[in-house]
Chain A
């Protein structure tokens, strides 16, 4: 079954509001990657977290890896219309990449 779950499945926000998506794994992950998929497009790599408790920032995006390496989050501050898309986490227990179910973000201008 699905080993990596994400919540929420959908999120609608007003432009300028913050957004957070959470990723939870049933097993300990060696690392977590985050991808963004624009409507009609393919997933594009955003970032990778490897260390327990790691926090990384990319402009308005903040990524966290949990202390137990079983959960992660992506927070976007002051969303813009260019943030629209589906955000996926992907974990790698072993040689397989397990993608989360994704969070679809809609930004209302």
Chain B
């Protein structure tokens, strides 16, 4: 199993450009999410999905779009890149929760290091 695969690993963009960060998992996980990690800020949730066809906003969704057409893929789109979006982006997945209060562990990809000039 490859687990959670993110591409690309590194990317440099110019302000105003658009791009898509790819995320794929081969574990048949229903729950997928995107985070950005900035120094001193921890991991902040951008968007998440509880299953194919269902997405929802996290803490910091502005400037990003997502879609979930299949269980395996959860791409993150930057519509018009801004320097404030320079960050490390992580995709994560997990099984849905089977019961009250218990959540399955999240499995993270290796991250995409994105710089916007």
Contact = CB atoms under 8 A, between A and B. Distances in A.
Given A95-B50, A96-B58, A88 B42 contact: yes
A33 interface: yes
Contacts of A97: 33, 45, 48, 103, 106
A43 B100 contact: no
A50 B43 contact: no
Nearest to A89: B42
Given A33-B103, A42-B90, A48-B103, A101 B42 contact: yes
B46 to A, nearest CB: 11
Interface in A3-34: 4, 6, 9, 30-31, 33
Interface residues of A, number: 26
Interface in A71-102: 88, 90, 92, 95-102
Contacts of A108: none
Contacts of A92: 103
Contacts of A33: 103, 105-106
A44 interface: yes
Interface in B41-85: 41-45, 48, 50, 56, 58-59
Given A30-B101, A31-B101, A99 B44 contact: yes
Given A41-B110, A45-B106, 19 more contacts: A4-B42, A30-B100, A30-B103, A31-B101, A42-B108, A43-B106, A48-B102, A48-B105, A95-B56, A96-B59, A97-B45, A97-B48, A99-B42, A99-B43, A99-B45, A101-B40, A101-B41, A101-B42, A102-B43
